[in-house]
Amino acid sequence: MKVLLVVTLVVFFLGCFVRAQNSCNDVTGYDTCIKFFDGLCFRPTATVQVQKTCWENGRKLCKTNYCTGPCEEGWIYNLDSRVCYKVLMNKEVSMNWSKAQRECTALNRFAKLAEIKSRTENDFIKDLLSPRFNAFWIGLRDVNQEGHWVWTDGTAVTFSDWHRNEPNNAGNEDCALFHRNSVWWGSAGYKWNDAPCWYAGNYGAVCQMPAQ
Ligand code: MMA
Ligand code: CA
């Protein structure tokens, strides 16, 4: 009888352990920078979308789990802003600003280039960017009035993360992007730069859309 009880208990706790390992909230094997989306990962529909390995000085630091949460399949949820993001970076042909905006809308009619209103959102997005692309368009322009930067929803910039000496409108630059590297600056660390809207170098884009 005692043995049976012990066996039952062991099986029960082992079961819990296995279940915990399979849940989003488990940190086994990962380091502390796993991002939790409290509660959401426990929803059966909330799938882990991206597992990104972070590196520092050639050392594997951690894996970051991102969740779809209440977003459409293929999008990543930011619990802080409650916005869904998708980074366009699989294109063979790179895109200028207008094409990037169209590509976002083509995914969903409520989608558009990202409008980044806070440091938290900015950091969240920067984590999603791939070094394979040198820059990523965002929904910010000064087309109507030089130096007056406006998000595509019409709101003026409150938060910004321009690179030093940017925006400089070098030869008429009216569209903003995250810039990884530049021959002029070296590593730009995905600070913002203004670039010509028609330019289509090795560029991706960041789309956003509301959660469902
Ligand atoms: C490039 C281009 C500009 C940027 C400057 C910085 C030469 O132009 O990326 O947008 O402002 O570099 O020197
Ligand atoms: Ca510039």
- Report pTM: 0.76
The CA distance from 160 to 162, in Å, is 6
Query: What are the domain boundaries of the chain?
Result: 29-69, 80-212
Pocket of ligand 1 (CB under 6 A): 166, 168, 170, 173, 182, 184, 193-195
pLDDT at 8 over 70: no
Which amino acid is residue 41, in one-letter code? C
Class of 80-212 in CATH: alpha beta
Q: Which of 110, 64, 56, 62 is nearest to 86 (CA)?
A: 110
Q: Which of 96, 136, 168, 183 to mutate to test the pocket of ligand 1 (most atoms within 8 A of CB)?
A: 168
pLDDT band at 79 (very low <50, low <70, confident <90, very high): confident
For residue 15, name the pLDDT band (cuts at 50, 70, 90).
very low
Question: pLDDT tens across 97-136, in order?
Answer: 999 999 999 999 999 999 999 999 999 899 888 777 889 9
By the 10 Å C-beta count (0-12 exposed, 13-18 middle, 19+ buried), 202 is classed as exposed
Distance in Å, CA 179 to ligand 2 centroid? 10
**More confident call, 47 vs 168:** 168
CA 131, 137, 140, 142 torsion-angle sign: positive
Section 144-169 average pLDDT: 97
pLDDT over 60 at 172, yes or no: yes
For residue 61, count other CB atoms closer than 10 A to its CB.
14
Q: How far is the CA of 195 from the centre of ligand 2 (A)?
A: 5
